[in-house]
Every structure is written in C-alpha cells, then in structure tokens.
Structure 1
Amino acid sequence: MPTLRCVAWLVLTAPLLAACDRSANAPGGARPPTLVDVEVVQAQVVPNLVELPGRVEAGRSVEVRARADGIIEQQLYVDGTTVAANAPLFQIDPRDLRARLQQANASLASAQAARAQTSALRARLAQLVQRKAVSVQEFESAQAGFRQADAALQEAQAAVARARLQLDHALVRAPIAGRAGRAQVSEGALASAATATLLTRIDQLDPAFVIFNPSHVAMDAMERDVSEGRVVLGPDQRVDVTLLLEGDARPPMVGTLDFSEAAIDPSTGSRVLRARLKNPEGRLLPGQFVRGQLAVGTLRNGMSVPERAVQIGEDESSVMVVTAEGIAQRRPVTLAGQAGGRWIVSAGLAAGDRVVVDGWHKVQPGQPVAINTAPPGKGKAP
C-alpha cells in the first residue's frame, strides 16, 4: 500500500519537475519576448484633415414682425411646424383698417370731382382767352387750380393704396418657406407697426450652414502650408467638410466650404469659415454645436497608422513603438482625423518608427518584444 502512494506522488509531481527544469534551462529564468506585429512608419501622401468645432445656422432666417396696428385675433399656424412661403400665420383685427380704407376711398372720390371741375373750367377759359373774352391772368389761375387738383388726386390715390396695403398686412403671411418657431404673441395682444412687434421666427433648414471660428494663427499656418507646397489642394480648390455627430448612427453629413472671411474678429482673434450642407431631414438645427472635419487637400510627407494600433485615452492618444533595442515604448501622438481605416498622425512619430499594430495589449512599456516576421495570418503568437 505505501508503494502505491509513492508511485501516485511521482506521477503527479513529474510535470512540475519538468517545468521547473525548463525554467532553469531558460536564460536567466526570464519570460521569452512577446511576439508582436509592427508597421514601419513611412512619409507618404495622406489627407490633410483639420477638426474644428462649429455652430449650425439656418440657410435663411427671418423674424416675422407686425406691419399693421391692431389686436391679434387668431394664430393660424401650429408652433414648430413647417410652413410654405406666403402661408397665413396671424390675423390682426382688420375693422379699423377697413374703415381707413373707406375713408381714403371717399377722399379719392372728392379729389376726382375737384379735378374734373378744374379741368372743365380750364377748357372753357382756354377758348375765351383766345377771343380775349377773359384775361390771361384768369386763364393762368385756372391752370394752376387744375394742377393743384391733379396733385390732390394723386395724393388721394396714394392714400388709398397705402390703406389697402395696411389692410393686407392685417393678414400676416410667411415671407419664406421653413420651420416656424413658437409664437411670441397670443390672441388679444396688441401688435404695433411703429415698434415692429415680433410675432415669430422662421428658419429655412435646407440647406444649413455650419460656422467655424479658427484662430487667425491656425488659418495663417494652413494658408502658408498651401502656398509653400506642403499641402496640395485639388484642381477645383474645393474643401469638403464632414460633420462628426455624436450618437448618430446614420451616415455622416458631408458638405463643402463656401465662404472664408478675410477679416479678423478683434475680440476673439479668429476668422470665419462657413460650410454649406444639404439638410433635407432636418438633422441639423440652428444653434447646434458640432465638430467638423475639413479635408484641406493632401500632405506630401504625412504619416498614418492603422486604427487598431492607436490607444485612445481620456487625456491623450498613444501608440506602442519598438525601439532599436527591441524594447516596447509608449509614444503619445496627436491625431488629425481618420481616413480609409487609418489615423492621420500630425505629431509624435517620425519616419522609420516601428509601431506595434497587433499585440500591443499584451506588453507593457519597457518590456522586450520580438517582431513577427511571418506573413500576415501565419506564425502569430496565440
């Protein structure tokens, strides 16, 4: 029985003894270097991507204000809905304006009668003055009376036109098509043409504009890169803008830069760039803050690394590089955007650096590593 226990003990401890023997035979008893895949950084032509914060503005925005005096009788649209151009929005009490139009029409009729009378008198005196039956002075006085009556008639006609226009303004219509905001007045409120009472606001959301405010130093640097040939623009000089909308799984929105302000804002030291984007679904709303990625041509000697090689932290982004001594080293990098499954690196790497693409999560900075020289998909460390 004791013999059987000894045999079982030997069977169980044999693998452990063999492992200890292998560890003892390893140089210094250290772990073998971790096998990693690397990519050698090369200077090459890459997209020149610039990320900027921006603010959305409506393509057209109009404040609808009162152009006639009176009490608001009715709101004719629903707050926040899309309205067509010339659609009725508010009805102002038209009774006083109708009375003014009737008064203007009465003054017009009186002016017409006075003009007809002076015209007839001038015609009679014109015949009499030829026969010297009346004096020239009387005829000239009749002519002056006719001209005064004619001027009074024109003034009365203008008063009628103005009164009719005021009556038309009693029905407030949308000057443009777009999304109408909430009403700034309610039924029973007094609208004044003299103070231009604000009634509502209409924003045309398609197209939409995004306003960027880069510093003039950054703008000067970009323009200098283009003028000195480090950045090459396309033949059409177009700058595409891609909006990075957080939490939106739909395809990104792409537009073009259509305006660059030459003046510098003295209060902020910034310049204005404007992008124009199609917004048929209303995904962009006025006042919304977004981030835009501007594709400003291509860099002649840019650098990029695969997306999976980049470690993005809360404070900084970094990659793992392999030194000439075969030691893993963490290297902070500045990213300038993504293109074609790769991160564009604007700072932190140099041509010839060996960046760990696969296996960086298995090593720590300062740890020796071995570079996998097998073709992709073969000979990789498990």
Structure 2
Amino acid sequence: YQIDPKPFEVELQAAEAALAKAEAALLQASQHAIRIETLTKSNAASQASNEVAVANLAQAKADLAARNADLSRARLNLDYATIKAPINGIIGAALLSEGVLVVQNETHALATIQQIDSVYADFTQSVNELNKLRRDFDRGDLDAVSPDAAKVRLVLDDGSIYPLDGKLLFSDAKVDAGTGQVTLRGEFKNPKRELLPGMFVRVQIEQGRDPDAIVVPPQAIQRNSSGASEVFLVKDDSRIVAQPVRTGGIVDGQWLITEGLKPGQRVVVEGFQKFAVGDAVRASDWRVSGETGRQLDKSASASDQVR
C-alpha cells in the first residue's frame, strides 16, 4: 500500500535545506572562533569576545545535530508512506479502497495476511483417554515417541491422510466440564499450501507405542459358540487348534491382540471352510501390505487338507 508521499517529500526537502544551512553556519562559527582565538592570544581581542565565539561554535554544532535528526525523521516518515507487510504470507482482498482517508491508530485493517507455510490444527481429546495414556507411560507399558512431543497425523475431509506428520504442541490445562474434553493443538508443515485456514480435518494422535504389540488381519478373528474372539493356529505338527484371544482396537486396519498370541505363531487368515479343528493342513505363508506394529512372524492360509 502507498500513502500519498508528496507531503513527506516536501518535508524531506525542507530538512535537507535546513541541514545545509546548519552546516554553513557551523563552518562560519568555526572560522570565526579560530580568528578570535588568534586575536585574543595577541591581546587584539578581549577574552569575553573569545568566550562568545566558543559558545557560538558549540551552538552551531548542536544546531547541526538537530538538523541531522530532523532529516532522519523526514526520511523515516517518507519511508512509512509505503506500507509493507511485517510478515510473509498470502494477502487477501483489500479492505479499504484507493482514496480512503487513513489516520493514526486506524481500527480497520487494510488487508488480511495468512501465514500458511506452517499451520495449527486445534482439536479435542477425552481427558479420560489422556489420563489412561499417562498411566501407561508411568508403568512403562508404552514408550513415548519423544521426551517432549508426540506425533500427530491429519485425516483430510476426503478420508486421505495428509502426507506430512505433525507434532503435538501442548494440551490445554482447562477441562470443559460439560464435555470432559481437553483442547490440543498440532503443528503441521504446509509447503504445498494444501491446508487452508478454516478447513475441517480429523486428527490422529500417536502419543505412545507398544513395542511388543501383535496385530492380525481382521478376517483372522473368528467368534466361537459363546461369542468370544478366537483365532485358528497351525501348530508345529501342522494341525489346527483354536486359540482364544482378547482384542484391542484397530490399528491401520489390523486388529490389535492384547492376550492369547505370541510372536512366531502361525494364524490362519483364510480357507476356513477347508478344515476343522484337529485336522492336519498344508499351510502357505500369507502377506499383507501396509503392515503395522509388530506383525506376526508367520501367518498362514489353509490349502489342501492332509488326511
């Protein structure tokens, strides 16, 4: 933005002229003081005349300093006639049109600048869930991602995952008594400016991890006659056994197993119609993309039954 610079340009010219006049006055006072000093030494001028000349020289120096200050002020005022943004970002539409009078301490903004190279996402989390996570940390059941920050991810409105991980900055110390929620804030880098202010997103918090977690594909979880969860294992002798398990949450599409399985056990994930418990089977390894956590060393799919 540009304020009409003409008054400030005139002020600058006047300050430059006043400075030149002060420099000339200083030169004259300096030369006069030298002459009076010489005459005083030869008793051709009185001591009083010398003192007046010295005082006039000091005053001329002070006037020069004042005119230099006036010149600096005039240059600064002219520079302020060009309004520059103090921050980098994307500027919106002008909120004041050309020709409008703007005064000191104006309450109306000229425009709005948004910094979106790095954005904040505010969200809420249950205080009970956060307290449980803290207790798990204290017991050592879960490892902190880092000593002072947690990793967070953004899920965009179309369900896709924002490619850059963010970090949890802080949690609000105040709890909403009505909802039992605490406010959290995540910071995300936004180099491609995909994230815009006002967007609605979902946030996934990764404040902890279990290094011994075991996950299995959803289809591996079966229900027995009592409704409890179980999986089918292929034992070392290739026979099928049913193994009761306890499930946790779903992590990246995989069921978290909290009890009932050990690393290295082979879990049947397909071909259930081909066998019964106790049958000997010929199993083949099964692989899944997007493995999360600590995948079982061996999963199996039942092929032909061995009689």
| TM-score, shorter chain, exceeding 0.5 | yes
In the alignment, structure 1 residue 128 sits paired with structure 2 residue 39: yes
- 1:342 maps to which residue? 254
Question: Which deviations, in whole Å up to 9, do the C-alpha atoms of 1:307-332 show, x marking residues without a partner?
Answer: 457xxxxxxxxx8743xxx23369xx
Q: In 2, Cα distance between the equivalents of 1:168 and 1:186?
A: 21
Q: 1:351 aligns with which of 248, 259, 267?
A: 259
Q: In 1, Cα distance between the equivalents of 2:247 and 2:41?
A: 100
- 5+ residue gaps in structure 1? 1-89, 310-318, 360-369
- 2:29 maps to which residue? 118
CA shift for structure 1 position 134: 3.7
Q: In 2, Cα distance between the equivalents of 1:222 and 1:236?
A: 14
In the alignment, structure 1 residue 252 sits paired with structure 2 residue 162: yes
User: How many residues of Structure 1 are paired with residues of Structure 2 in the alignment?
Assistant: 259
Q: 1:276 aligns with which of 188, 195, 208?
A: 188
Contact 1:230 1:300 survives alignment (8 Å): no
Q: 1:327 aligns with which of 226, 230, 239?
A: 226
Letter in 2 for 1:287: G
Question: Which deviations, in whole Å up to 9, do the C-alpha atoms of 1:190-230 show, x marking residues without a partner?
Answer: 22344375222222322334345657775555444334311
SS for the counterpart of 1:127 is helix
Q: 1:243 aligns with which of 126, 130, 154?
A: 154
CA shift for structure 1 position 186: 0.9
Cα distance change on mapping 1:106 and 1:244 into 2, 3 Å: same
Cα distance change on mapping 1:123 and 1:179 into 2, 3 Å: same
Letter in 2 for 1:328: G
Contact 2:151 2:168 survives alignment (8 Å): no
Contact 2:118 2:187 survives alignment (8 Å): no
CA shift for structure 1 position 182: 1.8
In the alignment, structure 1 residue 152 sits paired with structure 2 residue 63: yes
Cα distance change on mapping 1:140 and 1:358 into 2, 3 Å: farther
CA shift for structure 1 position 301: 6.0
- 1:180 maps to which residue? 91
Cα distance change on mapping 1:378 and 1:196 into 2, 3 Å: same
Q: In 1, Cα distance between the equivalents of 2:173 and 2:204?
A: 22
- 1:97 maps to which residue? 8
Contact 2:119 2:195 survives alignment (8 Å): yes
Cα distance change on mapping 1:230 and 1:140 into 2, 3 Å: farther
Q: In 2, Cα distance between the equivalents of 1:113 and 1:343?
A: 90
Contact 1:216 1:271 survives alignment (8 Å): no
In the alignment, structure 1 residue 292 sits paired with structure 2 residue 203: yes
Q: In 1, Cα distance between the equivalents of 2:7 and 2:65?
A: 24
Letter in 2 for 1:276: F
CA shift for structure 1 position 185: 1.0
Q: 2:115 aligns with which of 204, 228, 239?
A: 204
Cα distance change on mapping 1:189 and 1:337 into 2, 3 Å: farther
Contact 2:120 2:188 survives alignment (8 Å): yes
Contact 2:26 2:61 survives alignment (8 Å): yes
Contact 1:180 1:200 survives alignment (8 Å): yes
Contact 1:260 1:272 survives alignment (8 Å): yes
TM-score normalized with structure 1 length: 0.54
Q: In 1, Cα distance between the equivalents of 2:6 and 2:278?
A: 90
Q: In 2, Cα distance between the equivalents of 1:335 and 1:241?
A: 20
In the alignment, structure 1 residue 164 sits paired with structure 2 residue 79: no
CA shift for structure 1 position 96: 1.8
CA shift for structure 1 position 154: 1.9
Q: In 2, Cα distance between the equivalents of 1:130 and 1:267?
A: 89
Q: In 2, Cα distance between the equivalents of 1:301 and 1:246?
A: 33
Q: In 2, Cα distance between the equivalents of 1:215 and 1:145?
A: 79
Instruction: Please give the residue correspondences for 1:7-156 in structure 2 after superposition, counting only pairs within 5 Å.
Output: 90-156=1-67
Identity within the alignment, %: 30
Contact 2:247 2:259 survives alignment (8 Å): no
Cα distance change on mapping 1:248 and 1:270 into 2, 3 Å: closer
Q: In 2, Cα distance between the equivalents of 1:175 and 1:154?
A: 31
In the alignment, structure 1 residue 232 sits paired with structure 2 residue 166: no
Q: In 1, Cα distance between the equivalents of 2:215 and 2:256?
A: 4
Q: In 2, Cα distance between the equivalents of 1:110 and 1:266?
A: 69
Question: Which deviations, in whole Å up to 9, do the C-alpha atoms of 1:114-135 show, x marking residues without a partner?
Answer: 3223222222222233334444
Contact 2:157 2:200 survives alignment (8 Å): no
Contact 1:216 1:264 survives alignment (8 Å): no
CA shift for structure 1 position 293: 1.9
